[in-house]
Structure 1
Amino acid sequence: MVSSSSSATNTLINLMALPISKLTSHLLSILSTIAANKKEWDRVDALVKMWIFGTITQNLTQSVHKKNQNAYDLWDSLENLFHDNKDAREMQLDQELWNITQGDSTINAYCTQIKNLVDLLENIEVVVPEKNLVNYTINGLNPRFDHIASPPPYPVSYIIGNTIHLGS
């Protein structure tokens, strides 16, 4: 049985016994493979960076671009920038939800605006409770829908109680 240290020693002796031309040839083939892989890596890295820069604004590009930056570093800069702004973005979107009004738009367009704002909040990991969505939607309705937004003429407990009593 040959130990790993004696195996390593044998490999070293075999390499030393190679003529210098074969050793050089072997090392050059390894280096050319590494260089080819590096060229391919650099090409793909450049494509990813072009895609990222093509999808963000000019101001954002100027904020995150650094000399000799690879795609991973660029993505990391973007992630950190947006993570740092998460609280401010949450406050801005929440304020937009609070102030949204239907105006002259259709109910469908109005609800789509609300859904888009909620989706943006979910993208930054903020959950909007359903009861808040109902309040935002009702509060911003066009005045012609006041009959929907107004409270019922009887207390909710009275309506629920009568419904239960009628069902018995």
Structure 2
Amino acid sequence: MNHIDGSMDSSLMFDDAEWLQIDTCIVSWLYTTLSDDLFSAVMQPDDDTYAAWTAIGSQFLDNIVQRTAQARQRLHALHQGDMSIADFCAQIKRLADVLRDVGSPLSDQEMVITLLGGLSDKLAHCAPTITAVRPPMRFSEARSFLQQEEVWITGYAQRAVSTALLSASQPDGNSTNAHAY
């Protein structure tokens, strides 16, 4: 831990080959986990672990306000459209995770509100049911409820198509096998 938190002055450790080897391995590991853009922004020759860690951290901490604003804008603009409920909820969850990571977490209730506000017309009729439940549904419960409704709607639509096809194949309403001889 003293490699990353700066509690050990690396300049005092130049004579300790084991400490330097560990420090070099940690720096290498840190750099290999970065995207190319981030690597080129933070990499400095002869960095110790503390310097590399601090440089990487500043890339994320220096723009917290902008990242928070951007994530909140994307969250509020999110609509289901043609996405399945699973995909729509996954996008809400990803944005909630980003907001949590920048220190601006969403409550479960805010996630449910976002979910309901972005529902497609196909599932908008479910919003009153979800909001009327006491205690209020959690995000995971609302997701599950909407997935079941989505399955039901899909099954209903398939039955309607099958019925329509069957009716179309029998224009007089009589079964083709029910001939009177």
Match of 2:41 in 1: 63
TM-score (norm 1): 0.62
Contact 2:97 2:105 in 1 (8 A): no
Number of aligned residue pairs: 119
Offset, 1:91: 0.6
User: 1: CA distance between counterparts of 2:124 and 2:106?
Assistant: 24
Q: Which residue of 2 aligns with 1:90?
A: 68
Name segments (4+ residues, structure 1) moved above 3 Å: none
| Residue matched to 1:106 | 84
Contact 2:64–2:102 under 8 Å retained in 1: yes
Within 5 Å, give how 1:19-38 maps onto structure 2: 38=16
1:133 maps to: 111
Picking from 109, 121, 124, the partner of 1:146 is 124
**Is there any run of 5+ residues in structure 1 with no aligned partner, and where?**
1-33, 157-168
Contact 2:42 2:55 in 1 (8 A): yes
Which digits, 9 at most, give the CA deviation of each residue in 1:6-61, with x for residues without a partner? xxxxxxxxxxxxxxxxxxxxxxxxxxxx87x6211221111111111111111111
Aligned to 2:103, the other structure's residue is in SS state coil
Q: Look up the SS of the partner of 1:126 in the other structure.
A: coil
Deviation at 1:145, TM superposition (A): 1.1
Amino acid corresponding to residue 57 of structure 1 in structure 2: S
Out of 102, 105, 111, the position equivalent to 1:124 is: 102
**2:28 alignment counterpart:** 50
1:116-164 alpha-carbon deviations (Å, 9 max, x no partner): 2111111111122444322211121122112124x68xxx8xxxxxxxx
Structure 2 residue runs without a partner (length 5+): 1-12, 133-181
Query: Residue in 2 aligned with 1:77?
Result: 55
The Cα shift of 1:99 comes to 1.3
Name the aligned partner's letter for residue 39 of structure 2.
Answer: T
**Distance between the aligned counterparts of 2:33 and 2:79, measured in 1?**
30
Question: Could you tell me the TM-score, scaled by structure 2's length?
Answer: 0.58
Counterparts of 2:28 and 2:121, CA distance in 1: 49
Q: Percent identity?
A: 28
Counterpart amino acid of 2:125? H
